Amino acid sequence: MRIVGVAVGNSRVQVGVVEGGEIRAVRRAPAGNPEDCFPEGERVRPDAVLLASVNPPAEERVLALVRDRFGVEPLRVTSAGGVGLTNRCRPPERVGIDRLLAARAALERTGTDTLVLDFGTAATANLVSRDRVFHGGLIGPGLSLAARALAGGTAALPAVESPGAPPAFLGRSTEDAIRGGVFWTLVGAVERIVRGIAEEWGKPLVVFATGGDAERVAGATRSIDRVVPTLVLEGLLHVHRDRTC
C-alpha cells in the first residue's frame, strides 16, 4: 500500500511517501513554492493521501497540486479526535493540527509521557501522556521569526538568517550578536521550559524535538533526548492506520 502524507506548515511543506508501513521518502519545499514537493512528471496514483495544514493560503495551492499529480481527493485531518488523542485544551479546535500529530507520533514511539518540542516558524512545547491525552504546552517564536521581529521592530537592526551552527556567545558584529542572541535565547528557554514542565507534571518525561531547526537546537543542549524530523508525517500515518484497521 502506498500512502502519501502532506504537512503544510507556516514556512514549509513536507510530503512523505509511505510504503510497507514506513516513510521511504520525504520532500520539503518553502510554503510559498510547494510545487517542488510535487514533481511534474510524477503522477502515480497512491492508495490514499492525508493532508494536515496550519496555513490556509498555502493549503489551497497544495490541494490543487495533490489533485493534479495524484488524481485523488486528500483526507484532511483537522481535529484531535481524528488524531486519536483526547484534547484537554480549550477550545480544542484552536490547537494546531501539527502539534497534535507530532504528539501522537512521539507517543507511539515511547508509550509513555512525552514532551514534544517543535522548532519551526513557531517554537512549541507539547505534552502528551501515556493515556493518550494532549495536555497543551507553550508557544513562542522560532529562530527565523525572532530574528525578523528584531529587524521589523527596530529602526537600525538588520535582518539576518538564523545560524546554521551554534554561534559564538560573543558576537563581534551586529549580525553575529543577533544570531547569537536569538539562538542562545531559544536554547536557554528550552532548558528552562523542559525543567519547568517536568516539575509541574511531576513524572518522568521523554523529550523529543522535531521541525526545521530541531537538529541545531538539540545539538546545543542536553535537555532533548531524541530528534525526529518526520513526527508530523508519522502522525498522519498513524491516523491512516486508525481508519483502516
* Structural domain includes residue 87: no
Whether 135 and 195 map to the same domain: the answer is yes
What would the grid cell of residue 207 be?
A: 523529550
How many CB atoms lie under 10 A from the CB of residue 27?
16
Q: Is residue 30 included in any domain, yes or no?
A: yes
Q: What pLDDT shows up at residue 80?
A: 67
Same domain, 63 and 116: no
Task: Give the count of domains, the chain.
Answer: 2
Q: Which residue has the cell 531524541?
A: 226
Q: What pLDDT does residue 43 have?
A: 66
Helix (H) or strand (E) holding 196: helix 174-201
pLDDT at 244: 87
Distance, CA of 154 to CA of 141 (rounded, Å): 17
All three cell numbers of 233 = 508525517
Q: Which residues are catalytic?
A: 98
At residue 85, the pLDDT reads: 95
Q: What is the mean pLDDT of each run of 10 residues along the chain (245 residues)?
A: 94 92 90 91 82 95 94 88 92 94 98 98 97 97 94 95 80 94 96 98 98 95 97 95 87
Residue 92 CB neighbours (<10 A): 15
Position 166 scores a pLDDT of 79
Cβ atoms of residues 41 and 90 within 8 Å: no
Could you tell me if 63 and 126 lie in one domain? no
Give the model's pLDDT for residue 104: 97
| Contacts for 12 with CB less than 8 Å, ≥ 6 apart | 28, 29, 30, 31, 120, 212
- The domain that holds 71 is classified in CATH as 3.30.420.40
Q: 56 with 135, same domain?
A: no
pLDDT score at 131? 98
In this structure, the answer to whether residues 132 and 190 fall within a common structural domain is yes
Indicate whether 195 and 123 sit together in one domain: yes
Question: For residue 83, is it within any domain?
Answer: no
125 and 218 belong to one structural domain: yes
Nearest to 142 by CA among 115, 166, 117, 165: 117
Q: Is 67 contained in some domain?
A: yes
CA–CA distance, 3 with 48 (Å, rounded to integer):
5
59 inside domain: yes
Range of the domain at 47: 2-76
Q: Quote the pLDDT of residue 108.
A: 98
